[in-house]
Amino acid sequence: MQNHRFSNALWIPSPHFDERPSNEISLIVIHAISLPPELFNALPVMAFFQGTLDTGTDPYFEALKDVRVSAHLVIGRQGEVYQLVPFDKRAWHAGESEFDGRSRCNDFSIGIELIGPVEGPFTDRQYQSLATVCSQLCLSYAIEPCHIVGHREIAPGRKIDPGEDFDYERIRPDN
């Protein structure tokens, strides 16, 4: 890791980020996305996070027309890793959220999107890449492994990703 970027990731910068209110990074939030649903192609996801998604190419995209979101990392079905926002910047991934009594999780978290169904399943290669990424992030930013959570945990009732069957034991480093 160098300059708050994961060295093994393909850099595809998003304009959808801003400054964090402090230097604190103490949470990793796991998400799932596919655009349109059930199509596991990284290209529309990258375009969405870059603000360049052609909303006329699929009726599902119309609802996303004015949405501005991003994540720090995206992990494709084959385990490929893309980085869109440096870790020291605030990506716009969590929305209205709360963790451990604190709101505005984007302020102190790193967002990682897995390409796939909103409730999984995810591929072994995705789990392997995510485990490597989480291990490095926990080491680099002193994040406690129990602070690796799903979007569903920080936005209950609003979000369900990455699914109740997501296997956190496969991605949390041993400390």
Q: What is the mean pLDDT of the chain?
A: 96
> What is the percentage of the chain residues whose pLDDT exceeds 70?
99
Confidence of residue 175 (pLDDT cuts 50, 70, 90): low
What pLDDT is stored for residue 174 in this prediction? 84
pTM for the whole structure: 0.96
- Express each pLDDT in 104-159 by its tens digit: 999 999 999 999 999 999 999 999 999 999 999 999 999 999 999 999 999 999 99
CATH number of domain containing 114: 3.40.80.10
Is 2 a domain residue? no
Give me the domain span that covers residue 26.
10-170
Q: Is the peptide bond before 36 cis (omega within 30 degrees of 0)?
A: yes
- Express each pLDDT in 88-107 by its tens digit: 999 999 999 999 999 999 99
pLDDT of 67 > 70? The answer is yes
Is 4 a domain residue? no
Catalytic, out of 62, 98, 113, 153: 113
Is 5 a domain residue? no
Check if 153 is active-site. no
